[in-house]
Structures are given as C-alpha cells and as structure tokens.
Structure 1
C-alpha cells in the first residue's frame, strides 16, 4: 500500500447562495435563481470548498503541486478520469458544511501510451452532522505526449437515444466554470499550453462540466438522483458542439464526429 493512502484533508464552507446563483446563470438554467434555504442542485458542491494556494504552491499546469496531499508519482499530466456519487441527504444553501477528503487508493501500471498512475479520492460532505454526499474522484496521471504522437482512438458513441440535447461551449463558459470551481488547470483557458505542452487541438471542456450537464439532464428527466457515476473517454474541445444523450438510466456525451466523450449512469 502506498504511504499516501489514508491522508485526510478537511475544508469548511458557508455555502454562499450567490455562488450557486452564479453557476445557475453560467449554465443558463431555467427556473428560479437558487437562494438561501434552497436545496443544492446535484454536483453544485464542486463550486464550494476551495483549496486556495499561493502561486508558489502551484504546478506548471495551474493545479496545486503534487507531492503534498496527492503524492508525486513522476508523471506531469493530470486528468479527472471519472467519479461515483451517492446523494444521501439534501445539502442546504446558506448553511455551513464540511468536506473531508481521504486518499483512498494509489496505483501504477504500464498502459499502451506509457506509464500511468491512478489516484482515487473519497470526498464526504456533511451538514449538521449528517453525511449528505459521498463522492469518489478518480484521477489519472501520465507522461507528456511525444512530439507528433497520434492521439488515442476514441470509442464511438451510440447513435440512438431516447432524448438528446445539443450543447455548445465557448472560452467564456470554460473560464467562468473554472473560476467558480477555482480550477486553475491551464488546459481549460490557455490555448498555447494546450497545444504546445499537452498536445490538445483546442481548449478542453471540463469533464466535470460535462458530468454536471448530464446530472441535471438525468434529474430533469428521471427525478431526484440517489447515485450517479461517470467516466471520461475522450476530450471535447471548446469549438465542438456536443450532444447530450440518454437511454433509460444510461447517459453519454457524443462529439460532432460521433466519438463518445463521457459515459454515465444515474441511479
């Protein structure tokens, strides 16, 4: 077992309703603006519990440097590979909540594109001594791409769906979502860094933003969520239009060329 397993970190947040209102506006959601006393929408907890670090504590990618809470496994590129959530009790806006993060597992292996490292974090959100949300966050770390390397072949998404919605993304939307989640990862706003360092053809749409849109779609169409799991399978870029699809409890994001960018299941 890696020595980092079991590390914990606790953050407390007052859950300012203005921040939820800002995300509601950023996503152009219908309905009343959220306010104090309202139930927090699923996955909106991503915009709270900021871990603000000084510039000297950041890595080259804009995230907090690895080697402190998250171990340094010698691989520079970080991606949010997926997650699993259990919604146990409502979270109320305008009341303090506590988020405890535990390093649950650390593993390394050799993949088709080189060495990979996997870190799973477990987040537990409590309010008034009640466990409200449990979230497992899967992170993957890998080497920088070799010059001229061919990107991995993405899986193809299903064509038929019971319901479909079109979604567009812009640098402004990505910037606002990064700001609200206090996510400094440069792949979402620094086009030069995206291309020259990490080998992407444009700004990368946040995997959690895609998951957020699918969660809201699932809640609209299926009712209140008890659980939700998702897995990123290919990047979506800012200039690409996506289709948000659902068949039963299975949801996915289809890129303009038919590739599957993210797949999820609601429970």
Structure 2
C-alpha cells in the first residue's frame, strides 16, 4: 500500500499525511482493476456483466452505502490483498420505478490478518423520464454539531476520481450528468462524503471499530456541505438547502 498514494489523498482531502497506519477508508484508493476503453459502459464505469458484477438490466448506477468493520489498522508500505464476492443481487420496486440492489463483500488482509471487512451497496436505476418529478429528499437534522463546512471544486472531484480510478462521468462531465442522468450539476462522490465523515468521527471518537453509511440525496459540486454529528455516533451530511445527503453511524 504505497504511502505516496495515501499522501496524495491526504492532500486532496486537506488533511495531514498519514504515518504508519492508514486512516479509515483510505483503502479505496488501492486495489484498482483497470479495464480498457472497449470494456467501459456509457457512464465510464466498467460495463456490467464483467468480473463479479452482475448485469441488473438497468443503466444508471450509484454507490448507495456501505458497512465497514475495522479489525486491525492497515499499514502503509505493507503488501495487502483484497477478496471480493457478491453477497446478494436483488430487484425491487421503488418510488421512481424498478431498482436493482447489489451488495459486494470485500475483505482486506495484511500479513494474513483480516484488517477490514466492507459491505458495499450499489443501486441500479432506470434513466429518468423527461417529465419525471424528483422525489423530495429527506431534511437533515438540525440538533447536531457541525464539525466541518466544506465545498468540493471540480478539481477536488477530478483528483478523487483519479485516485480511486473512478471513471463515472457524473463526476466530471456536466452535460452527461444533466442530460443523461438527470442531475442538476456534477455529483460529489458518495464515498468522498463518507471518507470525510470517517475522518471526523476518528477525530471525535478515536479509532473506529465500525462505520455504516447510506446516501440519501445527491450532493452537487461547489455547494457548501455541513458534516455533522449527533448523539450515539449518529452523523450526517447536510446540503446547502438543508436536505440530508448522507446519514451514518460511527462506533469507536
């Protein structure tokens, strides 16, 4: 796990460079599986049906949430291996039409020791109809402590996409994000929001044993976001208009 890559992420996030143990969730910038252009879908992600990802028959995808258990620290400069398997793949009917849910289990080991277990939840959706009415997003709580206010520039999104080898066009192609996927602007990565929450949780609680998060509304680039904490490890991201973009729970 190359320390230089972790240092580049720290610079992107505006935090101190890690020494020794990597901060929680920094493993997202490792374990790339590069695929040539011919193997990509219209959204810039690897086309579904390759590798372990099933084809759910729906064109739009997003990282819906995740559950992480931190069993031992991952150390910079030490070889690691990740094993990924499909836990489940199901179809459901949502407010906006059919949905496909896929849960991938990742296990990361160093020196034969299981360090991190992660369940990654991915949701697939239909393309939005031109006259579709977007569902109302949930309203963020107002009784917590705002630990950080921050916006993410297009450069921030580009750097995070590069470090995670994420080619999804909603993070850099404004015309695609608006005209094809129906967003009002470039979308800030859900994992980037979760990463910021985890760093703040570690600062407030000390080392983390578990972190669960779920995306509840898109966060758009350049809007000022509030990263908040309430009671019993509850956390959330509040959009500029008061909507809740992400909810999470952190345990020491």
Class of the TM-score when normalised by the shorter of the 2 chains? over 0.9
The count of residues paired between Structure 1 and Structure 2 equals 249
* Cα offsets for 1:9-36 (capped at 9, x unmatched): xxxxxx110000000101111x4x235x
Displacement, 1:239?
Answer: 2.4
Question: 1:265 corresponds to which residue?
Answer: 249
SS in 2 for 1:22: helix
After TM superposition, the runs of 4+ consecutive aligned structure 1 residues lying more than 3 A away are none
Write the distance in 2 (CA, Å) between the matches of 1:16 and 1:72.
Answer: 33
Question: 1:23 corresponds to which residue?
Answer: 9
Q: 2:27 aligns with which of 35, 45, 63?
A: 45
The answer to whether the Cα contact below 8 Å between 2:147 and 2:200 also exists between their aligned partners in 1 is no
Q: 1:58 aligns with which of 12, 37, 40?
A: 40
Mean Cα displacement is larger for which, 131-140 or 109-118? 109-118
Write the distance in 2 (CA, Å) between the matches of 1:260 and 1:61.
Answer: 25
SS in 2 for 1:21: helix
Structure 2 residue runs of 5 or longer lacking an equivalent are none
Displacement, 1:39?
Answer: 0.2
SS in 2 for 1:61: coil
SS in 1 for 2:21: coil
* Cα offsets for 1:107-144 (capped at 9, x unmatched): 00111111111000000000000000000000000100
Mean Cα displacement is larger for which, 97-106 or 154-163? 154-163
Question: Alignment RMSD, CA only?
Answer: 0.9
SS in 2 for 1:213: helix
Matched, 1:253 2:217: no
The answer to whether the Cα contact below 8 Å between 2:170 and 2:186 also exists between their aligned partners in 1 is yes
Task: Please list, as runs of the form range in 1=range in 2, the aligned pairs for 1:218-233 lying within 5 A after superposition.
Answer: 218-233=201-216
Write the distance in 2 (CA, Å) between the matches of 1:98 and 1:239.
Answer: 35
The answer to whether the Cα contact below 8 Å between 1:163 and 1:247 also exists between their aligned partners in 2 is no
Q: TM-score when scaled to structure 2? A: 0.97
Write the distance in 2 (CA, Å) between the matches of 1:138 and 1:258.
Answer: 25
Matched, 1:167 2:150: yes
Displacement, 1:149?
Answer: 1.4
The answer to whether the Cα contact below 8 Å between 2:146 and 2:226 also exists between their aligned partners in 1 is no
The answer to whether the Cα contact below 8 Å between 2:74 and 2:110 also exists between their aligned partners in 1 is yes
SS in 1 for 2:176: helix
The answer to whether the Cα contact below 8 Å between 2:213 and 2:246 also exists between their aligned partners in 1 is yes
* Cα offsets for 1:152-199 (capped at 9, x unmatched): 210000112134310111100000000000000100000010001000
Structure 1 residue runs of 5 or longer lacking an equivalent are 1-14
Q: TM-score when scaled to structure 1? A: 0.92
